[in-house]
Copies of this chain bind each other. A is one copy, B any other.
Amino acid sequence: MDNQENILNIALNLFTLKGYEAAGVQEIVETANVTKPTLYHYFGSKRGLLDALLKKYFDVITKKAEEACTYSGDLPFTLTRVTETFFNFAKKNETFYRMQMAMCFSSTGSEPFIATKDYNIKLLALLEKMFLLASEDHGNMKNRQKRYAFTFLGIINSYISLYLNSGIKLNDEAVYSAVHQFSHGIYS
């Protein structure tokens, strides 16, 4: 088993279970059955480990979101595709999504928040760009891309949060529901 990958997996579990600050480096290496120098050889620091972990998963969701966000004249269709993309990613990477949401809601001065900030900004920018293109076809949403991006991702994350904590299904019905709930907020 690859030590580097193993450390990443253990770190993901411990960060998710106990939180980034509460999970000690010592605990991580013990659980992964390696020693500290091994961890520091690969990642340089605890923060470096976190960064590597975030990059590993955020690169995936960012790329998928990029593809899903291409606007082709049909906004409901695009919104549905984006929602499906996020739901599928969350289902495939439950633990990571748990960790990521906790970090995104953590204190603005904390390391986890700072480490995830740019990734979340990037995701919002993709949504914003999509809404900007769509605004040429929907006059009533001009100059509101930022808020729409924020609220849309907010609704998506609400559903994912419900999935993770309350056990609802993220099926086609949930996608439909999320998209329509957001649209209802837009067009009224």
Chain A 3-39: CB-based contact to B (< 8 A → 1; otherwise 0): 0000000000001111101100000000000000000
A186 to chain B, nearest CB (A): 10
CA distance A14 to B8 in the complex (A): 30
Chain A 100-112: CB-based contact to B (< 8 A → 1; otherwise 0): 0110011111110
Q: Are A17 and B181 in contact (CB under 8 A)?
A: no
In the complex with contacts A102-B106, A107-B102, A162-B180 CB distance below 8 A: no
Q: Are B158 and A109 in contact (CB under 8 A)?
A: no
Please indicate the chain B residues that have their CB under 8 angstroms from the CB of A185 in the complex. Answer: 177, 181
CA distance A162 to B147 in the complex (A): 9
A140 on the interface (CB 8 Å rule)? no
CA distance A64 to B18 in the complex (A): 32
Number of copies of this chain that the complex holds:
2
A51 to chain B, nearest CB (A): 17
A150 on the interface (CB 8 Å rule)? yes
A72 on the interface (CB 8 Å rule)? no
Please indicate the chain B residues that have their CB under 8 angstroms from the CB of A22 in the complex. Answer: 21, 107, 110-111
Residue of A18, A105, A147 with most partner-chain B CB within 10 A: A105
A65 to chain B, nearest CB (A): 19
In the complex with contacts A180-B188, A185-B177, A18-B110 CB distance below 8 A: yes
A99 to chain B, nearest CB (A): 8
Q: Are B161 and A147 in contact (CB under 8 A)?
A: no
Q: Are A108 and B17 in contact (CB under 8 A)?
A: yes
Q: Can you list the 8 inter-chain pairs with the closest CB atoms, starting with the nearest?
A: A21-B21, A105-B105, A19-B107, A19-B110, A184-B184, A17-B109, A154-B158, A18-B109
